[in-house]
Each structure stands twice: as structure tokens, then as C-alpha cells.
Amino acid sequence: MALWDKLKGEFIDIVQWLDDTNDTLVYRFERYGNEIKYNAKLVVREGQMAAFINEGQLADVFKPGTYTLSTQNLPILATLKGWKYGFESPFKAEVYFCSTRQFTNLKWGTPGPVTMRDPEFGAVRVTAFGLYSIRVKDPSVFIREIVGTDGTFTTEQIEDNLRGKIGSRIKEVMPDAGIPVIDLESKVIQLGETLKTRIAPAIEALGLELTEVQVQDVGLPEEVERAIDKAGAMRAIGNMQVYTQYETASSINDAANNPGGLAAAGVGVGMGFGMGGQMAGAMGGMFPGQSQPQQPVIGGAAPPPLLQLFVAVNGQQTGPFDLAVLQQMARSGQLTRDSLVWKQGMAAWAAAGQVPDLTAVFEAVPPPVPPA
């Protein structure tokens, strides 16, 4: 009896898996000869499932809990072995523990640019990448279809396959989503949910569940990004002609302090205003909602010319300036009532305060602040 008791003690009596990794999906319980003692304890922890396989055939699957292994708790295995009246001797079976917790931060990305037809930019090639999460949903399917007889199966062994499935499927999802490329980055959550819905059936066929898909970034071609940046800048500037004239007029004070710079500044002012007018006219049709003020044509006659005045600064002629720029110059003190001005039709230069066209300009300028 002592020898028999010693032999019985050599067989395993506790079947369990203490997972100390963060990437193991399936672990095969190791025991020489796969011999398990009758009435042994099976411990399946939360986040695990245990599958018994006999001679290559899947038998019983256990959810979290503690079980005494007997014919009552192993009905399928008992049927496969033909134990009609129970058994008390050790039996052979392979036990595979499957981790059913979520495995997160797995990476995916498009294998190449995705071609989309955009209503604004035409055909555009974009890329995308992000993260996804999975868990084992059906151990029997996963072991049969993927794991086989592998003793330890990790996420690394299936990541390439899953990454390929997601990356290729997003090539279908992105063009079909109907999202303009300019709005893709603001719709990444919607894109991720759509991708999850489309790819989930293919993942489920492997015995896995796709729990989450994150789209972290969408890459647009450089020319599209530049066009978006330019469009935003132009909308922020508004009236291109007024902006160019004001920027040029603001540099007059700096040019006046340079002995040879004022004359050159006068040439630059004229060129700047001419370019500003041309650019403003060209930009008027580029952006919906951005228009330039138009003067009505009465009876087919050409509209009267806009106010254009030259201003004398330190004995040098600058300009011409329109009313909007003259108002800015008056507010900044560059134009005063004593400044000499001239326009076409005037016999000679005159003080700005004596020109009726500038009356409204100076009325809008507050008087100097009295001393404290």
C-alpha cells in the first residue's frame, strides 16, 4: 500500500494557471504524460477558461470556478473514453487555459495610401493608423482554428494576421464612409466604430472578439494640408487689398528713419497696393462667402473712381492711399491735419485738414489725451 500511495501522489492533484505575463492568450498545462489524478482540483480564475482535449478531440470547457474532476464534471470526456460506470484511476488529457481578458494597445495601420474621391480636392491618397483590442470569445474555435498544439500562444503570433485584416478592410471603409478628407480627423471616433463593425465578423470567425478600434491619426498629402492652411489664412485676413495697403502704410515710419529708404518705400507702396488689388480680385472667386465690395453701374456708365490720395512724408511723396488706409494712418498718427496731401484734380499740395474728402477721417480720430 505504501508503494501505491507513493505512486498516486506523483500524479497532479491541482490543475491551474498563474499567468504572470501580459501577452499570453493560451497556455497548455504541462504534466509528464498528461496524467491527471481522479478527483483532482481544477482552478479556473477570473479572466480564464479551461478546455480539455483528449486525443486531439475537444471535450469539456470550464468557466471561472473550482471544480473536482470526476465523471460528473467531465461528461464529454467521460463519454469519449467510454466510462460508463465511473473511474478512479488517473486519466490522460491535455488542458489548455485561455485568457479571456482584453488585450489592448495592439497596433494597426494602412499597408499603403488609400485613394478616396473627395468633392473638394478630387482624388486624394490618405493613410491612417491606430490601436485595437481583442479577447478570446470561443476557446474551442480559437484552439481549433489558430492555436493547434502550440503550448504557449501569445498576441505576437497573431498580430500580423489581425493587423493585415484591419489594414486591408479600412481601404474599403474609408472611401465608403462618405466623410470629406478635410473632416476625417474630426470623425476618427465614427471611423473607428464603422471599422469595428465591418471587421468584427472576420475576427469572430477565429474565436476572438474585437472589442475596440481606435483611429489615432489620419495622414493627408502635403499639398492638401498646404491648401487647407492657405484657405484658413485667407479667411482670417479677409479683405486682401485693405490688408496689404495697411501693412505697407505701417512701414512708412520705419522707412522715414532711413535716409535712402523713403523713396524706395514709395515705390514699394505703389507695387504693394497694385498687387493687393490684383490678389483681392483673384481671391474673390476662390472662397465661397468671401466677396469684395462692388460699385453699381448706373445707365451703363463706369463707376466714379475711388478716393486715392498721395501723402508727403519728410518731403517725400508716398501713396496713393485709399480711404480705408488713410483712416488707419490717421488713427496711428501718421496722417495729421497738417500733413500735405494731393490727389488728381488738385492744383497744388494742401493741408489734409483743408481737404473736404478727409473731413470724416479726422472726425473719427479722438483728440490727444490731456496731460495728467
Confidence category of residue 101, pLDDT binned at 50, 70, 90: very high
**Nearest by Cα to 362 from 310, 316, 323, 320:** 323
What is the maximum alpha-carbon separation in the chain? 136
Specify the higher pLDDT residue, 149 or 1. Answer: 149
Specify the higher pLDDT residue, 128 or 265. Answer: 128
Q: The whole model's pTM is what?
A: 0.57
Give the least confident one: 42-51, 281-290, 308-317: 281-290
314 SS3 class: coil
Give the least confident one: 13-22, 165-174, 225-234, 335-344: 225-234
Q: What pLDDT, on the 0 to 100 scale, is given for residue 91?
A: 82
Q: What pLDDT, on the 0 to 100 scale, is given for residue 125?
A: 86
- Using DSSP bridges, classify how beta strands 24-28 and 152-154 pair: parallel, antiparallel or unpaired: antiparallel
Q: What pLDDT, on the 0 to 100 scale, is given for residue 46?
A: 94
Specify the higher pLDDT residue, 35 or 19. Answer: 19
Inform me whether the pLDDT recorded for 67 exceeds 50. yes
124 SS3 class: strand
- Using DSSP bridges, classify how beta strands 309-313 and 48-54 pair: parallel, antiparallel or unpaired: unpaired
Confidence category of residue 254, pLDDT binned at 50, 70, 90: low
Which domains are seen in the chain, by residue range? 2-99 (no CATH), 103-224 (3.30.479.30), 238-281+306-363 (no CATH)
Q: What pLDDT, on the 0 to 100 scale, is given for residue 142?
A: 93
Distance CA(26)–CA(150), nearest Å, equals: 8
Q: What pLDDT, on the 0 to 100 scale, is given for residue 98?
A: 95
Inform me whether the pLDDT recorded for 359 exceeds 90. no
Convert the pLDDT of each residue in 74-97 to its tens digit. 888 888 887 766 667 788 888 999
Residue 190 CB contacts under 8 Å (≥ 6 apart), including other chains: 177, 179
Specify the higher pLDDT residue, 371 or 318. Answer: 318
206: which 3 cell numbers? 477565429
Specify the higher pLDDT residue, 271 or 30. Answer: 30
Inform me whether the pLDDT recorded for 3 exceeds 60. no
Distance CA(110)–CA(126), nearest Å, equals: 9
Residue 280 CB contacts under 8 Å (≥ 6 apart), including other chains: 239, 240, 241, 244, 292
> Angle CA(49)–CA(137)–CA(66) in degrees, nearest 5?
15
Highest mean pLDDT among 81-85, 160-164, 310-314, 354-358: 160-164
184: which 3 cell numbers? 476625417
In terms of C-beta density within 10 A (0-12 exposed, 13-18 middle, 19 or more buried), how is residue 222 classed?
exposed
Inform me whether the pLDDT recorded for 6 exceeds 90. no
DSSP letter at 149? T
Q: What pLDDT, on the 0 to 100 scale, is given for residue 279?
A: 47
Give the least confident one: 224-238, 267-281, 303-317: 267-281
Highest mean pLDDT among 135-149, 178-192, 209-223, 340-354: 135-149
Q: In the beta sheet, which residues pair with residue 209?
A: 135
Inform me whether the pLDDT recorded for 305 exceeds 60. no
**Nearest by Cα to 307 from 329, 325, 280:** 325
19 SS3 class: coil
Distance CA(231)–CA(308), nearest Å, equals: 30
Distance CA(352)–CA(364), nearest Å, equals: 14
Confidence category of residue 259, pLDDT binned at 50, 70, 90: low
106 SS3 class: strand
Helix (H) or strand (E) holding 174: helix 156-176
> Angle CA(131)–CA(134)–CA(139) in degrees, nearest 5?
165
332: which 3 cell numbers? 496711428
